[in-house]
Amino acid sequence: MSEHTTLSDLEAAIDNTFATDAQQASVDVVEPGIVTAVETLSMQQALNRALAEVLEENPKALVLGEDVGLLGGVFRITDGLQKQFGEDRVFDTPLAESGILGMSVGLAMAGYHPIPEVQFDGFAYPAINQIVCQVGRMNYRSRGTMPMPITLRVPSFGGIRAPEHHGESLESLFAHVPGLKVVSPSSPNEAYHLLKHAATRPDPVIFMEPKSRYWQKGPVDTSADGYSPEGSRIVREGKHLTLVAWGAMVARCLQVAELAAEDGIDVEVLDLRWLKPIDAEGLAASVAKTRRAVVVHEAPLTSGLGAEVAALITERCFGTLRAPVERVTGFDVPYPSGDLEDEYVPNIDRILFGIQRVLENRRG
Amino acid sequence: MSDVLALDLSAQPDLSAEDLKQLYRLMVAVRHLDESAIRWQRQGLIPGYAPELGQEAAQVGSGYALDMARDFVFPTYREMGVARTVGVDMVEYMSTHKASWHGGLYDPQAARFAPIQAVVAGSVLHAVGWAHGQTLSGTPAGELGVAITYFGDGASSQGDVHEAMNFAAVMKAPVVFFIQNNGFAISVPTERQVAGGSVAARAAGYAMPSLQVDGNDVVAVHQATAAALAHARSGNGPAIVEAMTYRRGPHSTSDDPGRYRTLAEERADGGEDPLARMRSRLLAEGLAGEDFFTEALEAAQAEEERIRNGVGALGSRPGTEMFDFVYQEPTHALKAQARAWREESEHV
């Protein structure tokens, strides 16, 4: 590492490590004074650390859900928290997601900050009524007197060869609901900081964790020096086009960018982070420079968040865009079985084809 | 009255003569306001209303048993009688029917009365969460605040009610599930709604006590609710009270009960009017005379006039409130929409 190594350089280095395969990352200790308090953690460890700190700092914070107690969650995100904070603060609920969310609403009304877990994305469907009509509306219905500081953690997206409804991407559903905010981290450092940020907000935040990235390690700068949880972030600068992604697709887009660079294509990668509110100005700033954009997501194409991203870019950059915004997404099919998921989730080839289309398109 | 697991009714002290008279006054006030609200709708003062005619004893009797210094009410959209009994500002309450604001204009935290809830069974789970919060707060058993959640026979079919009962029983949350079984979910009668005919009977499966009570007897409702509250307050977990009553009016001012029941059926099934019944009791026990009943009605009429004037004086809420209360920390996108709305609406 050079003496001017920054956190994003480290992240890029580690993501590239995983681009070539599952070799464990090891990050050299960075020179003092350049990056402080950096540790190498998996996203699972970073989330666990963030939850422990939130529970420590806010006595009203509670963790609840299925198997989050003694077991530590099926992904071990809540590992050890019940032992550390007791059964009042970290507790198992019966297996009913509407119950978990409805109970969280009541706890919030009583002054608590519930951090419920819905064990897998698809398990949020039984809770949709409570999420839409209660979590998203109680602040409104009560004219601001009953805020809903609920941080709903949802292990999300595909890529782990899981059974049906364990690999879904619900961001469009959530983002369409007034009163909710939606965020998805793409790296251990982002996971740590965004969860700490979300879990201290007075509004409900749906926290979509890319479950396929739980075990990838990366540097986490717990000092938060210079870290901003707001808006999007550029994870790789480039001149020719902007790849817009979130969650697990960010790492994939970084891989694609490296491959494209071999052909002389300079790709900028923008990690959207917040799926509601979307950082329209950040998108516009990047695309104003590159004049081309490809948005990549795992969710189905039709009415996917890519459409919203394309609209926001078009509204702001119509005059300078060199081509229509391209979308590389999942298909309008139920999320397939593990044998087919590599065909469904945008892979490197499909993203490269998207780049080709946006580069070949010529106006006039 | 049948109890599945015992609630200790004998521990409840008898109500004083003044309590009995107050229960009657409250029922008259609620009856008069309820019937007036239908007229308000016909006169165009409010766009709609969900009457509770016939359910006065269930609502006043249960509400009167609450300790509003520590308990909390989770209503549906038909709990005007409870709201009046526990002291919610009635102009601010009726504003929901004026279409001013869905949840009502009252402050739900200050009133200890959750926002009016149009989602059937939507708030039953909230009561469980709020109640579990009381347990977590470290309040000693015997002094716990209790959440009382109101819902009907129709709502009892919703999965959320089952989840709420199971969660509450597993966690021993201080909740009273108060069912007003009023015979109808809009048009569908209880026998096509509740298998076995009793919501209270389900309590056995959740290992919690329950009482099915004559919901038209305000004193019986009060005593059953007080027993259930005492059970929950003592840290013994939840309890069910099912008040068997009858919705004498339509589901709402848009409903036509003639399509699903006859007047003869209404008369036969409605049972004794809860107000007439209490009046007879007060007379029989020598607790009140005609003067008292006249005064109670006149007070109710004066109160209705004040509320009607207050509701009539409610202007529309400023349109900015559409945007102001969505978040505690509004997004840039929402602020931009609010600005655009303001600019474009000012051109009209």
pTM: 0.94
Give B-chain residues touching A106 at CB under 8 angstroms: 125-133, 147
CB contact under 8 A, B128 and A280: no
Which of A130, A146, A203 lies at the smallest CB-CB distance from B108?
A: A146
Shortest CA gap A345–chain B (Å): 30
Q: Where are the alpha helices (DSSP H) in B205-320?
A: 218-233, 263-269, 274-284, 290-312
Strand runs labelled E in chain B: 2-3, 72-74, 147-152, 175-181, 184-185, 188-189, 210-214, 239-244
Q: What domains can you pick out in chain A, each with its CATH number?
A: 7-35+37-221 (3.40.50.970), 233-360 (3.40.50.920)
Instruction: Confirm or reject contact between A311 and chain B (CB < 8 A).
Output: no
Give A-chain residues touching B332 at CB under 8 angstroms: 277, 280
Instruction: Confirm or reject contact between A197 and chain B (CB < 8 A).
Output: no
pLDDT in tens, A313-340: 999 999 999 999 999 999 999 999 999 9
Work out how many CB contacts closer than 8 A connect A with B: 138
Which of A98, A107, A201 lies at the smallest CB-CB distance from B160?
A: A98
Instruction: Confirm or reject contact between A93 and chain B (CB < 8 A).
Output: yes
For A341, B221, B321, the CA distances from B276, given in Å and listed in that order, are 69, 16, 44
Average pLDDT over residues A343-361: 96
pLDDT tens per residue across all 348 residues of chain B: 444 457 888 888 899 999 999 999 999 999 999 999 999 999 999 999 999 999 999 999 999 999 999 999 999 999 999 999 999 999 999 999 999 999 999 999 999 999 999 999 999 999 999 999 999 999 999 999 999 999 999 999 999 999 999 999 999 999 999 999 999 999 999 999 999 989 999 999 999 999 999 999 999 999 999 999 999 999 999 999 999 999 999 999 999 999 999 999 999 998 899 999 999 999 999 999 999 999 999 999 999 999 999 999 999 999 999 999 999 999 999 999 999 999 998 755
CB contact under 8 A, A109 and B136: no
The confidence band for A361, taking pLDDT boundaries of 50, 70 and 90, is confident
Give A-chain residues touching B160 at CB under 8 angstroms: 98-99, 102, 129-130
DSSP label at residue B149: E
- B132 assigned to active site: no
Contact A109, B126 (CB under 8 A): yes
- Active-site residue, selected from the candidate residues A113, A165, A166, A197: A166
Instruction: Confirm or reject contact between A128 and chain B (CB < 8 A).
Output: no
ipTM: 0.96
Q: Rounded CA gap, B287 and B24, in Å?
A: 11
Q: B311: exposed, middle or buried (C-beta count within 10 Å: 0-12, 13-18, 19+)?
A: buried
Average pLDDT over residues A290-318: 98
> For B2-317, which CATH superfamily applies?
Thiamin diphosphate (ThDP)-binding fold, Pyr/PP domains (3.40.50.970)
Residue A224, token pair as written in the block: 């938060």
Shortest CA gap B94–chain A (Å): 15
Contact A79, A117 (CB under 8 A): no
Q: Rounded CA gap, B305 and B316, in Å?
A: 21
The percentage of chain A sitting over the pLDDT mark of 90, rounded to a whole number, equals: 88
pLDDT, residue B7, reads 83
pLDDT in tens, A214-247: 999 999 999 978 899 999 999 999 999 999 999 9
The confidence band for A4, taking pLDDT boundaries of 50, 70 and 90, is very low
pLDDT in tens, A21-52: 333 333 444 455 555 689 999 999 999 999 99
Instruction: Confirm or reject contact between A286 and chain B (CB < 8 A).
Output: no
Which of B163, B328, B334 lies at the smallest CB-CB distance from A144?
A: B328
Instruction: Provide CATH 3.40.50.970 ranges for chain B.
Output: 2-317
pLDDT, residue A37, reads 85
pLDDT, residue B5, reads 55
Q: Rounded CA gap, A107 and A113, in Å?
A: 7
The length of chain B, given as a count of residues: 348
Strand runs labelled E in chain A: 38-42, 61-65, 90-92, 113-117, 151-156, 181-183, 205-210, 217-221, 233-236, 241-245, 267-271, 274-276, 293-300, 326-330
- B206 assigned to active site: no
Which of A134, A144, A277 lies at the smallest CB-CB distance from B122?
A: A134
pLDDT, residue A1, reads 35
* Residue B337 CA, distance from chain mean position: 37
Give B-chain residues touching A138 at CB under 8 angstroms: 115
Instruction: Confirm or reject contact between A274 and chain B (CB < 8 A).
Output: no
Give B-chain residues touching A115 at CB under 8 angstroms: none
- Active-site residue, selected from the candidate residues B202, B222, B233, B247: B247
Contact B8, B223 (CB under 8 A): no
